[in-house]
Structure 1
Amino acid sequence: MNKKFINLALVAALGFSTYIAPITAFASTDEDIKASTEKLVDLENKEETAESQLSTITATIADNEKKAESLVADMQETQTSMKVLEEQITNLKSAIEKREAKLEEQARSVQVDGDSRNFVDFLLNAESISDVLGRVGVVSQIVSANQSLVEAQAADQDAVVAKQNETEEKVEEQTLLAAKLEASKTDLEQQKLEKEAVVASIAAEKSVVENEKEKFLAVKAAAEKGAEELALVKTTATSNSSASVETVSTKTTVASEVTAKPAATEKAVETKKATTSNGSWTTIKNAAYGVTGTPYLYGGTSTSGFDCSGFTMYAFSAAGINLPRTAGAQYAASTKVSQSEAQPGDLVFFNQTGSIDHVGIYLGNNQFIGSQSSSGVAVTTISQAYWAQYLVGFGRIN
C-alpha cells in the first residue's frame, strides 16, 4: 500500500512539473495568436478602404479611356477634314489657272487694261449703223465677261488663302489632340501602377500575417497534444510513467522546433544602365530613319504606326536601350541638358497641354525626328513657329 502511494506521488510530481511547460507555452502562443488576429482585422479594414479607392481609380481609368476614344475619333475626323481641304485648295488653284489662261487669251485679241481707245477704234471701223450697234454689243459682252472673270479670280484667290489658313488651324488642332492623348495615357499608366501597388501590398501583408497565425496555431496544437498526453500519464500512474514522461518531453521538443521561423531570403534585382555611345547613336539613327513615313497611331509602338513615345522607344530599343512608355516618363528618366549642350541622340521634349506631351530624337542643327500626328515619322525643325513655342528642353539617356 505504501509502495503504491509512493509511486502515485512520484508520478504526480513528475507529471505536474512537466505539465508546467505546455501551460506556459499556451499563454505565450495565445498572445501571439491574438496579436495576429488583431493584425488581420486591421488589414481587412485597410483592404475594405483600399477596395473603395481601387473602385474609384478603376472608374477614373474607364472614364479616361472613354475620353481617349473620343479624342481618337476627333483626330480621325480632323484628318478627314484635312484631306477634303487639300482637295478643295487643289481645285481652286486649278480654276484660277484656267481663268488666268482665258484672260490672257482675251487680252491678246482685245486689250482689257482700261485703255478704251482700242474699243473706240473697233467701233469707228464699223461700215454701217447696224454694224456699229453689233460691235457695241460685242464690246459690252467682252467687258462684262472679263469683269466677271476678274471678280471670280479675286474671290477664288481669297478663298485659297482662307482654306490654307483653315488647313493650318486643323493641323495645329490635330497636334494638340495628340498631345492630350499622350498626357491622358501618362495618367492612365500612373493610375494602373498605383492600383497594382496597392493590391500587391495588401496581399503581401495579409499573406505574412496569415502564415504567422498558422504557425502559432500549429505550435498551440502541438502543445495541446503534449498536454493531453501528460494528463493521460497523470491519470494512469503506471510503473512505466518515466517512459511516458520521456515521450512527452520529446513531443514538447518537437513543438518548440515548430516555433522556429525560417530565415528570409532576398533576391537582388540588378538594373542595366544604357548609354548612347557613338555606336548606339548610329544604331538608333538607322532605326529612326528606317521607319520614316510610318503613319501616326495613338498607342502605336510598331512599324504599323507610332505615337511620339512609341517611336522613341522603338528607335532606342534597336540599340538595346529600354525607355519608359510615355513622353512624361521619358522626360523624368533623362538627364537634362541645355540646348547648347544637346547632341544628336538626345531626346527633345515639348509641352503643349500643361505637361510633357511630345518627344522626339534630336538630330543636331535645330532638327529632330519624331512621330507627329500631322506627318507621321518625319524630320522637323525645332525653330519652326509651332514647335518653338512649346519647347521644354533636352534630355540625355545615361
Structure 2
Amino acid sequence: MNKKFINLALVAALGFSTYVAPMTAFASTDEAIQTSTEKLVDLEKKEASAESQLATIAATITDNENNATSLIAEMKETQTSLKELEIEVSDLTTAIEQREAKLQDQVRSVQVDGDNQNYIDFVLNAESIADIIGRADVVSQIVSANQELIKAQATDKEAVAVKQKETEKKAEKQTLLAAKLEASKTDLEQQKLEKEAVVASIAAEKSIVTNEKEKFLAVKAAAEKGAEELALVKTTSSVENTSSATVELTSSETKASDASELTAKPVETTKAATTATSPSNGSWAAIKNAAYGVLGTPYLYGGTTTSGFDCSGFTSYAFAAAGISLPRTAGAQYAASTKISQSEAQPGDLVFFNQTGSIDHVGIYLGNNQFIGSQSSKGVSVTTISQAYWAQYLVGFGRIN
C-alpha cells in the first residue's frame, strides 16, 4: 500500500512540474492569437472601406464611359459637320473663282472695246426703232447681269469667311471635347490604380497576420495535446503504468519544448523581389515610319489601333514600333518622360498640351516647330506648334529614355 502511494505521489509530482510549461505557453499563445484576431478584424474593416471606394470609382468610370459614348456621338456629328462645311467652302470657292474669271474677261473686253462707247455703237447701229429698243434692252440686261454677278461675288466671299469661322469653332470644340475625355480618363485611372494598390497592400498584410494566427493556433493545439497527455498521466493510479507514464511525460516535455520554440520563433515573411525592366531604346526612324504610316487614320476616343487612335493611343502605337512601351494616357506619359526645353527638343521627343487644367493632349515632335498627333478634327496629321490654337496650350517637351 505504501509502495503504491509513493508511486502515485511521484507521478503527481512529475506531472505538475511538466504541466507548468504548457500553461505558460497557453497564456502567451492565447494573447498572440487574440492580437492577431484583432488585427484581422481591423484589416477587414479597412479592406471593406477600400473596396467600397474602389467600387465607387469603378461606377464613376462606367458613368464616364457612358458620357464618353455620348460625347463620341457628338464628336462624330461634329466631324460630319466639318466635312460638310469643307465641301460648302470648296463649292463657294469654286463659284467665286468662276465668277472672278468671268469678270476678268469682261474687264478685258471693256479695255479692248471701249465699254460704254461699245454699248452706244451697238444701239446706234440698229436698223429700226424696234431694233433700237431691243438693243437697249439687251444692254440693260448686260449691265444688270454684271451688277448681279458682282453682288453674288461679294455675298459668296462673305459666306466663305463665315463658314471658315464656323469651321474653326467646330474644330476647337472638337479638340476640347477630346481633351476633357483624355483628362478624365487619366484622373480616374490614377484613382483606380491607387485604390487597387491600397486593397492589395491590405490583402498582403491580412495574409501575413493570418499566417501568424495559424502558426499560433498550431502551437496552441500542440500544447493542448501535450496537456491532455499529462492529464492522463496524472490520473493513472496503476503501479504497472508508472513506467509508461514516465515515457509519456518525457514525450510531453519534448512536445511542450517544441511548442515553446514555435512560440518564440519569429514569423518570417517573404517579400517578392521586384525588378524594373527598362524599355529598349528604339530608333527615331522606326517611330517616324510607324507615325507617318498611319497618317489620316481617324480620331477615336480610347483607340489604340489603325482603326482609330486617340492622342496617347497614337504615341503608344508609334513608340511600340521601336520597342518602347509608353503608359496609356497623356498625363502618365508626361509623368514618365524626362522634361526638356524646346531648344533641347529633337525629333522623336514628346510634346504635351494642357487645355482643361491638366495634361490632356500629346504628340510626337518632328522638329522645325511641327508635331504629328491624333487630332480630334483631322485624325493623325502634322500640325504646327506655333499655330494660334496650340501655342496657347503648350506645356513643354518630354524625352523617353
Distance 1:70 1:64 in 2: 10
C-alpha distance after superposition, 1:228-247 (max 9, x if no partner): 11111100133222112122
Moved more, 97-106 or 17-26: 97-106
Distance 1:345 1:275 in 2: 15
Partner of 2:273: 268
Letter of the 2:73 partner, please give it: A
Distance 1:110 1:321 in 2: 68
Partner of 1:88: 88
Letter of the 1:82 partner, please give it: L
How far did residue 105 of structure 1 move?
Answer: 6.4
For the aligned residue pairs, the C-alpha RMSD in angstroms reads 2.6
Tell me if 1:390 matches 2:393.
Answer: yes
For residues 289-308 of structure 1, the aligned pairs below 5 Å read: 289-308=292-311
Partner of 1:18: 18
Partner of 1:252: 256
Partner of 1:54: 54
How far did residue 8 of structure 1 move?
Answer: 0.7
Partner of 2:246: 242
C-alpha distance after superposition, 1:293-322 (max 9, x if no partner): 333222122222222212222222223222
What SS does the aligned partner of 1:269 have? coil
Letter of the 2:250 partner, please give it: E
Q: 1:268 to 1:43 in 2, by over 3 A?
A: closer
Letter of the 2:54 partner, please give it: L
How far did residue 104 of structure 1 move?
Answer: 5.8
Distance 1:380 1:93 in 2: 24
Letter of the 2:96 partner, please give it: I
Partner of 1:179: 179
Partner of 2:369: 366
How far did residue 208 of structure 1 move?
Answer: 2.1
- Please say if residues 25 and 223 of structure 2, whose CA atoms lie closer than 8 Å, have aligned partners that are also in contact: yes
Partner of 2:322: 319
C-alpha distance after superposition, 1:339-381 (max 9, x if no partner): 1122222211111222111112222222222222233223322
C-alpha distance after superposition, 1:91-130 (max 9, x if no partner): 223333444455566677789x995444333333333333
How far did residue 52 of structure 1 move?
Answer: 3.4
- Please say if residues 291 and 372 of structure 2, whose CA atoms lie closer than 8 Å, have aligned partners that are also in contact: yes
Distance 2:157 2:378 in 1: 26
What SS does the aligned partner of 1:236 have? coil
Moved more, 347-356 or 300-309: 300-309
Letter of the 2:269 partner, please give it: A
Partner of 2:125: 125
For residues 62-77 of structure 1, the aligned pairs below 5 Å read: 62-77=62-77
Distance 2:338 2:105 in 1: 66
Tell me if 1:376 matches 2:383.
Answer: no
Moved more, 179-188 or 285-294: 285-294
Partner of 1:353: 356
Q: 1:96 to 1:344 in 2, by over 3 A?
A: closer
C-alpha distance after superposition, 1:127-159 (max 9, x if no partner): 333333323332333333332222222211211
For residues 27-46 of structure 1, the aligned pairs below 5 Å read: 27-46=27-46
TM value normalised by structure 2: 0.90
- Please say if residues 54 and 192 of structure 2, whose CA atoms lie closer than 8 Å, have aligned partners that are also in contact: no
What SS does the aligned partner of 1:239 have? helix
What SS does the aligned partner of 1:264 have? coil
Partner of 2:201: 201
Distance 2:333 2:164 in 1: 35
Distance 1:274 1:242 in 2: 69
Distance 2:162 2:145 in 1: 26
Distance 1:309 1:228 in 2: 69
Tell me if 1:309 matches 2:312.
Answer: yes
How far did residue 51 of structure 1 move?
Answer: 3.6
Letter of the 1:244 partner, please give it: E
Gaps of 5+ in 2: none
C-alpha distance after superposition, 1:59-91 (max 9, x if no partner): 322222222222212211111101111121222
Q: 1:93 to 1:379 in 2, by over 3 A?
A: closer
Distance 2:343 2:109 in 1: 63
Letter of the 1:127 partner, please give it: E
Distance 1:183 1:270 in 2: 30
What SS does the aligned partner of 2:352 have? strand
Distance 1:361 1:102 in 2: 46
C-alpha distance after superposition, 1:229-272 (max 9, x if no partner): 11111001332221121222233244345544563333322213
Distance 2:320 2:291 in 1: 11
How far did residue 25 of structure 1 move?
Answer: 0.9
Partner of 1:136: 136
